Amino acid sequence: MTAPTQSMGNPSSEGWFGDFGGRFVPEPLMPACLELEAAFTDAWADPAFHAEFESVLSSFGGRPTPVSECLRLSEELGIRLLLKREDLAHTGSHKINNVIGQALLTKRMGKTKMIAETGAGQHGVASATAAALLGLECTVYMGEVDTKRQALNVFRMELLGAKVHPVTSGSRTLKDAVNEAMRTWVAEVDDTHYCLGSVMGPHPFPWMVREFQSILGREARGQCEKILGDVPDYVVACVGGGSNAAGIFSGFANSRAQLIGVEALGGAAIASGIPGVLHGMMSQLLQDEAGQINEAHSISAGLDYPGIGPEHAHLAATGRATYATAGDDEVLDALQRLSRTEGIIPALEPAHALAWIINEAGRAIPTGSTVLLNMSGRGDKDVAQVREILQAKGLYQ
């Protein structure tokens, strides 16, 4: 099986990746999107900005993160499984890469405040962290349902000096947190940057966030070449909005590696979505006949999103990447299995990617394949929820 290779290039000048992307925002926000695009383009062409970005990520963010071999699980599955250890980055997930980039950019634009949305709380914690580091004010919008599911992350954000604003509109989850952050951005755009947490939203966010996350893909490519002497046969990542997947895919898109994104079964924008416009972008969306957006449902707050970043919709359309799903039960199994066999408690989000690998090893993934999984975050934030679920199922006393 050979995958088509294709590098993940820049979007068109209006922010399109093929038929997806663009900039669908109310006029009051258009000037801010244009300003941000200009500021990012300028910064990203500036070696001094790259140097600062990389230096903060190494001295503060814990980069580079290692690639670990899963010896015991590999043997059980009959494949060679490697993990890119974003769980070891500061704040416990890949989200730190993006927020350091955007916080530095916020300062470069002369803004003093950041707002952010969060689902699981990881992006909120990362944003609060970057804001504390760089002396920015930070407010995080979080669906009320998620503030309950992830109460400890609310406390973490507050410890870090951020304000957490519970969102009570709509489904009270990630999608509504994005709505509320956008509404606030309209009113406060003068001195406020909206630090979006994934490769979604209006141009330039999907492109910019991918670029900030591409650092993990570049590292992983070099690390795989050292360990395997080659690229892996499969590169697998979970997909909520798609930032950790975009980061790791970008390191391998021009290689023969097969790229697999794994969505939550109840939030599968590629498998069950229809093209449409939400949160400033054209992408694949869960929606009804009339175009009302449906709520996503998953055990993982970080994947409870009815859309997907536009570049993923494009990669799916061209066939360069393939998108699969994992359901709640197999995700719980995968989480426990990795914990026991490798001593790594994964977050629920990357446990989706692992669940797919476990299911498909020896099936869609031929025995003997090399597989790189992006371990996008650690499970600390999820252990209380997982314990409750296991207790409720009678699987833990």
Ligand X SMILES: Cc1ncc(COP(=O)(O)O)c(C=O)c1O
Site residues (vs other proteins, CB under 8 A): 14, 22-32, 169-170, 175-176, 179, 182-183, 186-190, 274-280, 282, 285, 287, 289-293
Q: Which among ligand X, other proteins, none contacts residue 240 (Cβ within 5 to 8 A by kind)?
A: ligand X
**Which residue in 86, 83, 102 sits closest to 94, CA to CA?**
86
Residue of 33, 90, 94, 224 marked catalytic: 94
**What is the nearest approach in angstroms of ligand X to the Cβ of residue 246?**
8
Q: Looking up tokens 């909005």, which residue turns up?
A: 241
* Chain positions contacting ligand X, by CB under 6 A: 93, 119-120, 122-123, 198, 238-245, 302-303, 347, 349-350, 376-377
* Cis amide prior to 350 (ω within 30 degrees): no
CB of 167 to other proteins, least distance (A): 11
What does 302 interact with, of ligand X, other proteins, none (CB < 5 to 8 A by kind)? Answer: ligand X
Least separation, in Å, of the C-beta of 110 and other proteins? 16
C-beta of 28 vs 66, nearer to other proteins: 28
According to DSSP H, which parts of 160-239 are helical? 174-188, 205-228
Is 224 part of the annotated catalytic residue set?
no
> Measured from the CB atom, is 189 or 353 closer to ligand X?
353
Beta bridge partners of 80: 370
Among candidate residues 70, 138, 195, 224, the one labeled active-site is 70
- Exposure string of 2-13, with b = 16+ CB inside 10 Å and e = fewer, is ebeeeebeebee
CB of 163 to ligand X, least distance (A): 19
- To the query of whether residue 33 is one of the catalytic residues in this protein, the response is no
Burial category of 295 from C-beta neighbours within 10 Å (exposed 0-12, middle 13-18, buried 19 and up)? middle
Pick one of ligand X, other proteins, none as the site partner of residue 22 (Cβ within 5 to 8 A by kind). other proteins
Q: Could you tell me the smallest distance in angstroms from the CB atom of residue 241 to other proteins?
A: 15
Closest CB to other proteins among 288 and 343? 288
Is the CB of 350 or the CB of 369 nearer to ligand X? 350
The secondary structure of 243-288 as a DSSP string is HHHHHHHHTTTTSS-EEEEEEEGGG-HHHH-EEEEETTEEEEE-B-
Return the DSSP state at 306. S
Binding-site partner at residue 139 among ligand X, other proteins, none, CB < 5 to 8 Å by type = none
The option from other proteins, ligand X, none interacting with 376 (CB < 5 to 8 A, set by class) reads ligand X
Residue 44 CB, nearest distance to ligand X (Å)? 20
Q: Which string of b and e fits 53-63 if b means at least 16 CB within 10 Å?
A: beebbeeebbb
Query: Which residue lies nearer to ligand X by CB, 123 or 320?
Result: 123
The encoded tokens of residue 382 equal 């999820």
For residues 81 and 15, is the Cβ–Cβ distance under 8 A?
A: no
21 versus 369: smaller Cβ distance to ligand X: 21
Q: Which two tokens stand for residue 130?
A: 């970057």
Question: Helix or strand or coil: residue 199?
Answer: coil
Burial 336-375 (b: 16+ CB within 10 A, else e): bbbbebbebbbbbbbbbbbbbbbbbbeebbeeebbbbbbb
Distance between CA 193 and CA 32 in Å, rounded?
Answer: 9
Partner touching 102 among other proteins, ligand X, none, CB below 5 to 8 Å by kind: none
Active site residues: 70, 94
